[in-house]
């Protein structure tokens, strides 16, 4: 792609996984509500291509959008307990501003970071915990209706619907990635649900690379690694995008250690320890994206 790629939420966990993996492969334009430290910015990105703005600021977003060929939209409030006023402003209104600006600027491709929480309601009491285990055959494949488990999930389902509208009305290519549980170097520790929906940093970068290069119209795909234990299908991501994930939570023990060795495994990182939980569950309320700055290496079960 010759034209720049606008990445909103560049300082958050998903944004950093993308930039660390494919930061040298594209001309990036980075937008974040907070100034990005140099350590979070690829060397090739100039100061002129770093924008500090809120995604609800129509003028600032339009300025950042000028001349770009694709958008990867990550910014928003990722807390599953986020109150309605926050998800409405940051996730729904903000996404509408960014998508509308993309259409007005003639951008041809839009990658939207949706979330597993858009379909969290399928994880019913009678399905769990068997749903998270290898012998269970239940699969979500992206053709099912949204079934949000919280208001955050509602906002992500709304973003998917907005993408459908702008694809149908303006022929903009749109792919919505329902991101699972992103951690670096190993799956979430002692957490069945997280291991079933693990997305390694390496596979995250590869998936978004395919979103920026594949030929598609409108797609909803699941963003997880090639885990033996999974209840999300990655077949559509394979077929529509050419996604070929390298990692699998089955290659690790339940405690998150690589099987058959003492190295860092195949998580695609440098051995940095990132899973800071002590209770065996997800850090659901920790902010994960740039509008709510946080450590980009802290594990998350939604984007």
* pLDDT tens-digit map of 2-28: 899 999 999 999 999 999 999 999 999
Instruction: Tell whether 283 is in a known binding site.
Output: no
Considering the domain boundaries, does residue 303 fall inside one?
Answer: no
**SS3 sequence of the chain:** CCCCEEEECCCCHHHHHHHHHHCCCCCEEEEECCCCCHHHCCCCCCHHHEEECCCCCHHHHHHHHCCCCEEEECCCCCCCCCCHHHHHHHHHHHHHHHHHHHHHCCCCEEEEEEEHHHHHHHCCCCCCCHHHCCCCCCCECCCCCCCCCCHHHHHHHHHHHHHHHHHHHHCCEEEEEEECEEECECCCCCCHHHHHCEEEHHHHHHHHHHHHHCCCCEEEEEECCCCCCCCECCHHHHHHHCCCCCCCHHHECCCCCECCCCCCCCECCCCCCCCCCCCCCCCCCCCCCCCCCCCCCCCECCC
- CB atoms inside a 10 Å sphere around CB 89: 17
In a domain, 73, yes or no: yes
Measure CA of the first residue to CA of the last residue in the chain; give whole Å.
Answer: 25
pLDDT tens digits, 54-105: 999 999 999 999 999 999 999 999 999 999 999 999 999 999 999 999 999 9
What would the pLDDT profile of 222-274 be if each residue is shown by its tens digit? 999 999 999 999 999 999 999 999 999 999 999 999 997 644 444 443 333 23
pLDDT attached to residue 265: 43
pLDDT value of position 277 = 25
Please give the angle made by the CA atoms of 285, 287 and 289, to the nearest 5 degrees.
145
156 is in an annotated binding site: yes
Q: Is residue 272 part of a domain?
A: no
Return the pLDDT at 2: 85
Active site amino acids: 152
The 10 Å Cβ neighbour count of residue 190 is 16
Which tens digit of pLDDT belongs to each residue from 177-218?
999 999 999 999 999 999 999 999 999 999 999 999 999 999
Q: How far is CA 56 from CA 26, 43, 82, 129, in A?
A: 26, 28, 17, 39
CATH number at residue 240: 3.40.50.720
pLDDT at 296: 40
Query: Is 22 within the bounds of a domain?
Result: yes
- Give the count of beta carbons closer than 10 Å to the beta carbon of residue 7: 31
- The rounded mean pLDDT for the chain is 89
Residue 53 lies in a domain: yes
- What is the domain count for the chain? 1
- What is the band of 280 on the pLDDT scale with cuts at 50, 70, 90? very low
In a domain, 77, yes or no: yes
158 occurs within a structural domain: yes
Domain residue limits at 29: 5-251
The answer to whether the annotation marks 266 as part of a ligand binding site is no
Identify whether 117 is part of a domain. Answer: yes
Q: What is this structure's pTM?
A: 0.88
90 is in an annotated binding site: yes
């Amino acid at each position: 792609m010759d034209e720049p790629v606008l990445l909103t939420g560049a300082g958050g966990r998903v944004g950093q996984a993308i930039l660390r993996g494919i930061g040298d492969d594209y001309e990036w334009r980075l937008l974040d509500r907070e100034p990005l430290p140099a350590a979070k910015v690829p060397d090739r990105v100039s100061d002129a291509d770093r924008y500090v703005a809120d995604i609800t600021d129509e003028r600032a977003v339009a300025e950042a959008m000028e001349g770009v060929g694709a958008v990867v939209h990550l910014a928003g409030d990722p807390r599953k307990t986020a109150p309605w006023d926050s998800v409405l402003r940051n996730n729904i209104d903000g996404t509408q501003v960014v998508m509308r600006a993309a259409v007005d600027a003639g951008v041809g491709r839009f990658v939207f970071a949706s979330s597993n929480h858009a379909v969290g309601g399928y994880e019913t009491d009678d399905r769990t915990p068997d749903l998270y285990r290898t012998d269970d055959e239940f699969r979500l494949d992206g053709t099912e209706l949204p079934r949000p488990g919280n208001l955050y999930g509602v906002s992500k389902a709304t973003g998917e619907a907005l993408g459908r509208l702008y694809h149908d009305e303006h022929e903009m290519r749109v792919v919505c990635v329902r991101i699972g549980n992103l951690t670096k170097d190993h799956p979430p520790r002692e957490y069945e649900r997280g291991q079933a929906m693990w997305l390694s940093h390496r596979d995250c970068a590869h998936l978004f690379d395919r979103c920026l290069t594949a030929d598609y119209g409108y797609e909803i795909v699941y963003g997880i690694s090639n885990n033996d234990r999974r209840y999300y299908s990655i077949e559509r991501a394979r077929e529509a995008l050419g996604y070929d994930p390298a990692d699998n939570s089955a290659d690790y023990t339940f405690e998150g250690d690589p099987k058959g060795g003492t190295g860092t495994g195949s998580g695609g990182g440098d051995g940095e320890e990132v899973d800071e939980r002590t209770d065996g569950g997800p850090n659901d309320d920790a902010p994960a994206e740039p509008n709510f700055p946080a450590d980009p290496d802290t594990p998350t079960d939604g984007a």
